[in-house]
Amino acid sequence: MRVLLDTNIIIYREANKPPRQEIGILFRWLDQLHYQKCVHPKTIDEIRRHKDKTVVSAFEAKITNYHQLKTFAPESNPVSSIRAKFDRNDNDSTDTDILNEVFCKRVDFLITEDRKIHKKASELGILERIFTIDAFLEKVTAENPDLSDYKVLSVKKELFGNLNLRDTFFDSFREDYKEFDDWFNRKSDEIAYFCTSETSEVVAFLYVKVEGKNEYYSDIIPSFSPAKRLKVGTFKVISNGYKLGERFLKIVFDNALRFSVEEIYVTLFDYTLEQNRLIELLCDWGFKKHGVKQTGNGEEVVLVRDFRPRVNNSNPCESYPYLSSDSRKFLVPIYPQYHTELFPDSILRTESPNDFIESKPNRNAISKVYISRSYERGLNAGDIIVFYRTASGGSAYYTSVTTTVGVVQSVITDISSEKQFIELCRKRSVFSDDELREYWNWRTNNHPFVVNFLYVYSFPRRMNLKALIDAGVIQSTEAVPRGFEQISDEQFDRILEGSEADGRIIIN
């Protein structure tokens, strides 16, 4: 495999001594899989013009570690069209030159954090071969679980005072904020969320704080109007292939709902690749740039997420976790062996949490995949799904239960090959490649389709089949769902009522 590395990836690698942990993980995977690390000649020219001469000299010393492409692929008409549509300067033109090598299949993949390149790739129809660091690590982790260096343990809540402030994870905070250690120690009796590897190294950290309407915001420009807010005080996730960014965002949104805030905000610097990656993740989930915050350490970007109840059915990420009462509702079955693998937060009392630690991308992701052969394939973005966990021994009357609510992002029914099917499902489903291959070929006259959806909510109380029949949601033991089966608004309301669900997530 030949993997082309964009300029920002190489600079991120060579500008840090030692390299940041996530970039070390990326290069370790490339070496383990014996992928050829390629660079475009224009990338080399770009690095040699870099203003930081230490980066230039570090790259020059290690240039032999990379394979320099010796020729340029002829430019095709589709790439020329993209160039005319998007390119406004020399950097844009270089990006298109790099993308052309992927389009012409002279390299297998491109790893880049440049979202504009991803947009160009989408229009060229080659987005599945363009990866961010996160996405590439998720891909190789899912494909090669036996080669993973470590497992990620469950998210925990802990007092600041019980955490190891000297863990190298916190070094980047000390670089950005000279008063970080003092701030951390002042928080000794407050709660933080964190996640470690099995070697006890911190790999993700989150601190949130509720602020009232009288909070003072003179250092934020433009200033905030009075509102109840959730401040994301500290948020960092090391990219490692386990979708921890989404896992921790779910905690942010859960806290925002719990405390009934009107807005969520975060302030952070934007001068490193790591920080810009976090900004892009937040923007994917509805955060928008508000302004800047003046600090003694420099100027930070202020991002705000409107959390007042609203629904955007065309892009549910932007209004997550709210659902529209006007949306269609579907009941869909999920087998026990896949249920808690896909929904760890919906674990049953009869299952052990130790069997479902956050060691796979699909467990941590809010964005997930459901594959089906249902006759009903006409789902739309914004449709609501209620998952019905089928019987797991004993009477289905008592052991099959409704557990989880999701919302549809997109549905893909036009899948041309086994290869495309595996690529579409690999990172977000519970299945291995071999299982996906078997599922695709099980009925050649009825290939499966893919539903991309967001996991929204786990019911506090589970309605079993008996309760669902008594409530009129399911008519009889023979009428249990076998695919996507639409239910009425009234039946959905009965599920919410019987499950003691938080009604605030449903917007009239």
End residue of a domain, out of 82, 116, 131: 131
Helix, strand or coil, per DSSP, at residue 169: helix
- What's 115's domain CATH number? 3.40.50.1010
Question: What is the per-residue pLDDT for 445?
Answer: 83
d(CA 270, CA 301): 7
If asked whether residues 277 and 334 sit together in one domain, one would say: no
Helix, strand or coil, per DSSP, at residue 341: helix
If asked whether residues 425 and 336 sit together in one domain, one would say: yes
d(CA 488, CA 496): 13
Question: What is the per-residue pLDDT for 151?
Answer: 53
Higher per-residue pLDDT: 239 or 92: 92
Report the mean per-residue pLDDT for the chain: 88
Does any domain span residue 264?
Answer: yes
Number of domains in the chain: 3
Write the pLDDT tens digit of every residue in 135-163. 888 888 777 766 655 455 578 888 999 99
User: Average pLDDT of 55-79?
Assistant: 89
Of the candidates 32, 36, 56, 52, which has an alpha carbon nearest to the alpha carbon of residue 44? 56
Per the structure block, which two tokens stand in for 303?
A: 């991002």
Q: 179 pLDDT exceeds 70?
A: yes
If asked whether residues 391 and 445 sit together in one domain, one would say: yes
Letter for the amino acid at 318?
E
Positions of E strands within 238-314: 263-268, 288-295, 298-306
User: Average pLDDT of 205-220?
Assistant: 94
Domain holding 293, by residue range, is: 156-306
If asked whether residues 349 and 456 sit together in one domain, one would say: yes
pLDDT above 70 as % of the chain: 92
d(CA 277, CA 135): 12
Question: What is the per-residue pLDDT for 243?
Answer: 75
Structure confidence at residue 399 as a pLDDT band (50, 70, 90): confident
If asked whether residues 403 and 351 sit together in one domain, one would say: yes
If asked whether residues 464 and 339 sit together in one domain, one would say: yes
Q: 494 pLDDT exceeds 80?
A: yes
pLDDT above 90 as % of the chain: 58
CB within 8 Å of 261: residues ≥ 6 apart: 210, 227, 228, 229, 230, 307
The strand order across the sheet containing 329-334 reads 367-372, 449-464, 401-412, 384-389, 329-334, 485-487
Q: 434 pLDDT exceeds 90?
A: no
Question: What is the per-residue pLDDT for 352?
Answer: 41
CA pseudo-torsion sign 245, 247, 253, 258: negative
Write the pLDDT tens digit of every residue in 360-380. 555 667 889 999 999 999 999
Positions of E strands within 141-228: 156-159, 191-196, 202-211, 220-221
Largest CA distance in the chain: 73
Question: What is the per-residue pLDDT for 152?
Answer: 53
